[in-house]
Amino acid sequence: MPRTARDVVFVDGVRTPFGKAGPKGLYAETRADDLVVRAIRELMRRNPSLPPERVDEVAIAATTQTGDQGLTIGRSAAVLAGLPKSVPGYAIDRMCAGAMTAVTTTGAGISFGSYDVVIAGGVEHMGRHPMGEGVDPNPRFLADRLVDTSALVMGSTAENLHDRFPGITKERADAYAVRSQQKVAAAYAAGKIQPDLVPTAIRSVEKGYGLATTDEPPRPGTTLEDLAKLKTPFRPHGNVTAGNAAGLNDGATACLLAAEDVARELGLAPKMRLVDFSFAGVEPEVMGVGPVPATEKLLARNSLTMDDIGLIEINEAFAVQVLAFLEHFKIADDDARVNPWGGAIALGHPLASSGVRLMNQLARLFAERTDVRYGLTTMCVGMGMGGTVLWENVNWEGAK
């Protein structure tokens, strides 16, 4: 029997506070699976009208799927979170776009009619599992000259992007990074970030038990003078530093998606509507440019231009990657549409979890900006990819 595509909505999203990776970070003694379980439980607690048995799938992403990030983490997290044993789950890996892919894949399943309600998200504990742990790249990548050696080091790909866009200087990247820190500090002061955060129990050998309630990575008060002093570890006299790039971080995200008619039947209030998504490949050596073709494909398919987009949440893996996107689309570095509450340079980027953080922030911005109809969440992806998701504000005043 022919099926009619259904509208898919983003109902709710949460995340743990993000921590710094390493032995002194927030989550040094916390398991990765416990982080994502905390997010799932909070998502269910915040939506009491949703019967747990109505969840049709749990899709959780992790880039390094080993140890406490392995064991088909979507299924294991569902069981640990107390969902009925009848709820299946699976794991996803698209590096930085893991959680984004969890959303687009399960969202497509909802549209097709295979699911009514799903939980999608991601987790990355870069302190326990550094990016590349246990990876054995095929020697043909280099022997057959399929990629340059720099393609396997994300910081080096960012330096390559500076070469590709010579107008993006270190000073310009640093200025963008300072604005990200300033915007996050202002958003925290205004109480914009906190509603997404799930207080998470932590344990330290030195300090005992505690509760993480705020993000650890932000560095309020960062100045251009501070950033100018930092080393450029990926190239002598280069442009990429720890100050104009996202750090190494731990954290988890989870969101609730549903068919729009089912959401309303269950008394769930949609925050935004999934319109379309696109992924694209680029040269791995300049993976940061990935959001450009992904966004171009998406806008063209939906007969839209960047002028139709009122909000843009772009992951700040590196300042140069964001600036390349803005330069391509002729958007000013300080355009008010772009990351109004700051981004990953300040908040952190626990790889596979970040896609849903972008969506959480866009959903909250939509609630305040009923004048905006369309928004994007977009990010670059290791090994030369980009992903972009187009969302519609369900509270857009033009629809009334």
Write the pLDDT tens digit of every residue in 55-102: 999 999 999 999 999 999 999 999 999 999 999 999 999 999 999 999
Q: Whole-angstrom Cα distance, residue 232 to residue 10?
A: 40
Is 311 a member of any domain?
yes
Is 323 a member of any domain?
yes
Is 375 a member of any domain?
yes
349 assigned to active site: yes
User: Which one of the listed residues 125, 129, 162, 349 is annotated catalytic?
Assistant: 349
The answer on pLDDT for 241 being more than 90 is yes
380 assigned to active site: yes
**3-state class of 13 per DSSP?**
strand
pLDDT at residue 3, rounded to an integer:
65
Owning domain of residue 308: 147-193+275-391
Question: Residue 2 — pLDDT band, cuts 50, 70, 90?
Answer: low
∠ CA 217-218-224, rounded to 5°: 120
Tokens of 22: 């390493």
User: Which one of the listed residues 125, 129, 255, 380 is annotated catalytic?
Assistant: 380
pLDDT at residue 364, rounded to an integer:
98
Is 377 a member of any domain?
yes
Question: Residue 126 — pLDDT band, cuts 50, 70, 90?
Answer: very high
Q: What is the mean pLDDT of residues 117-134?
A: 94
Quick check: 284 and 384 in contact, CB under 8 A?
A: yes
Mean pLDDT of the chain: 96
Instruction: Name the β-bridge partners of 14.
Output: 254
Is 172 a member of any domain?
yes
User: Which one of the listed residues 96, 125, 129, 255 is annotated catalytic?
Assistant: 96
Q: Whole-angstrom Cα distance, residue 236 to residue 256?
A: 45
* pLDDT tens digits, one per residue of 38-51: 999 999 999 999 99
Tokens of 318: 């590196």
Question: Residue 275 — pLDDT band, cuts 50, 70, 90?
Answer: very high
Is 151 a member of any domain?
yes
Report the CATH number that the domain containing residue 166 is assigned in CATH.
3.40.47.10
The answer on pLDDT for 168 being more than 60 is yes
Is 269 a member of any domain?
no
The dihedral formed by the CA atoms of 201, 120, 344 and 275, expressed in degrees to the nearest 10:
-150
The answer on pLDDT for 400 being more than 70 is no
Q: Whole-angstrom Cα distance, residue 79 to residue 198?
A: 19
Question: Residue 177 — pLDDT band, cuts 50, 70, 90?
Answer: very high
255 assigned to active site: no
Is 78 a member of any domain?
no
Q: What is the mean pLDDT of residues 342-348?
A: 98
- The total number of structural domains that make up the chain: 1
